[in-house]
Amino acid sequence: MIWGTLRLVREGFSLDVRFDMPGQGLTALFGHSGSGKSTWLRCLGGLERGQGRVRIGDTCWQDDKVGIFVPAHRRPIGYVFQEASLFPHLNVRANLLYGWRRIDPQQRRVGLDEVVEWLGLSRLLARRPEGLSGGERQRVAIGRALLTSPELLLMDEPMAALDAEAKAEIMPYLEALHRRLSIPVIYVTHAVEEVARLADHMVQLRDGRVIAEGNALELLSGLHQQPAAGEEPGAVIEARIAAHDDVHHLTQLSLAGGLGLLAPRLASGEGGMVRVRIPAREVSLSLDVPQGSSILNILPGRIVATAEGDPGRVLVQLELEGVYGPGPRLLSRISRYSWDLLGLAEGMRVQAQVKSMGLARDDG
């Protein structure tokens, strides 16, 4: 749907990518700083010019062979920059309407009231940008971009300039983008938890080249995943909230295949979808179901693959087996010694003990 090739060479840096991204859902462009993801996004937006071709559906935005280059202001995109970049000489309302005013009235599918209500901006409309907090500014920036009724939303590390509090404030809105928008979103980030929470599809870059691409959950849970610096390998799985146990402050989650997980009390209501991230070091293996353990989550699975980790460690990928069929895949990191001691091998059935997990996404 969004496909093409782009090449760009600069001092000390080069981008060379071929892409074909889905026409719906959120695609994350993930990588370290300097990996080329922002440059790529800017080229898609027409803010920078690489060499190659860019097509969205049937429309061609760039084709060097034929001499086509549609300038940024003629591409039906919405762009959210890292630092909001609201116009300081306009108040919030005027900022929001800046793009809206410039599109053909026939093309307007998104209205001001809608955006204001959804992003909680009604109290801010008369204010000036300089008086707003980082989170508020970014919400206005998102609203402003959406009000151009774009066919594609481009977001360039929208959370990077925010502190933890502002991030927590904005995240629900971004998670809800999924449900709200039928247009594709391309989201640039270096933070894996943002990918885990938001992305459907993922493209990972290093030094201007694509090193991994595919379904976000699968890639994030893959055996040969490339975690960012300081990150641990782990698995991200989707689950539905089955019930809450307020007495014990626990939430029952149901996974694919009929499996269940007990998590600390989550905020969302019953029936909501969440994503949880389970680091490999939190998963230990045993041959039998251990008795008298304090670990609540013990799930049956089958070892499908292994990989060498740090010296003396091995990363094991196992596919959980549910009553109704296969469940999600998990990663477990154990010592080589344990592997040998238990006589483990690919294809063997084991019990996975999940000590703790982190919440990746809460759709409420």
Interface residue list for another protein (CB under 8 A): 45-47, 71-74, 77-79, 81, 83, 85, 87-89, 98-99, 102-103, 144-145, 148
CB nearer to another protein: give 89 or 249: 89
Can you say how many angstroms the Cα of residue 166 is from the centroid of all Cα atoms in its chain? 18
What is the C-alpha separation between 337 and 313, in angstroms, rounded? 8
What are the angstrom distances between the C-alpha of 201 and each of 22, 27, 166, 185, 289?
8, 5, 25, 10, 36
CB nearer to another protein: give 43 or 220: 43
Shortest distance, position 107 Cβ to another protein, whole Å? 10
Shortest distance, position 91 Cβ to another protein, whole Å? 13
Say which residues have a Cβ less than 8 Å from residue 232's Cβ, sequence separation at least 6.
Answer: 279, 280, 281
Give, as one character, the DSSP assignment of residue 280: G
CB nearer to another protein: give 154 or 330: 154
DSSP-derived 3-state class of residue 283: strand
CB nearer to another protein: give 12 or 88: 88
What is the C-alpha separation between 111 and 14, in angstroms, rounded? 40
What is the C-alpha separation between 351 and 254, in angstroms, rounded? 18
CB nearer to another protein: give 74 or 123: 74
Shortest distance, position 201 Cβ to another protein, whole Å? 23
Shortest distance, position 70 Cβ to another protein, whole Å? 12
CB nearer to another protein: give 145 or 185: 145
- Please answer whether residues 332 and 283 qualify as being in contact, where contact means their C-beta atoms are separated by less than 8 angstroms: yes
What is the C-alpha separation between 54 and 43, in angstroms, rounded? 9
CB nearer to another protein: give 103 or 250: 103
CB nearer to another protein: give 96 or 330: 96
Q: 13-21 and 2-10 as β-strands: parallel, antiparallel, unpaired?
A: antiparallel
Shortest distance, position 172 Cβ to another protein, whole Å? 24
Shortest distance, position 325 Cβ to another protein, whole Å? 46
Shortest distance, position 100 Cβ to another protein, whole Å? 9
Shortest distance, position 307 Cβ to another protein, whole Å? 42
Shortest distance, position 186 Cβ to another protein, whole Å? 13
Locate tokens 């909680």: which residue?
120
CB nearer to another protein: give 15 or 47: 47
Q: How many CB atoms lie within 10 A of CB 160?
A: 16
Give, as one character, the DSSP assignment of residue 122: T
- Please answer whether residues 250 and 264 qualify as being in contact, where contact means their C-beta atoms are separated by less than 8 angstroms: yes
CB nearer to another protein: give 86 or 330: 86
Shortest distance, position 152 Cβ to another protein, whole Å? 11
- Please answer whether residues 265 and 243 qualify as being in contact, where contact means their C-beta atoms are separated by less than 8 angstroms: no
Q: What is the DSSP string of 180-235?
A: H--S-EEEEES-HHHHHHH-SEEEEEETTEEEEEEEHHHHHH-TT--PPTTPPPEE
- Please answer whether residues 22 and 200 qualify as being in contact, where contact means their C-beta atoms are separated by less than 8 angstroms: yes
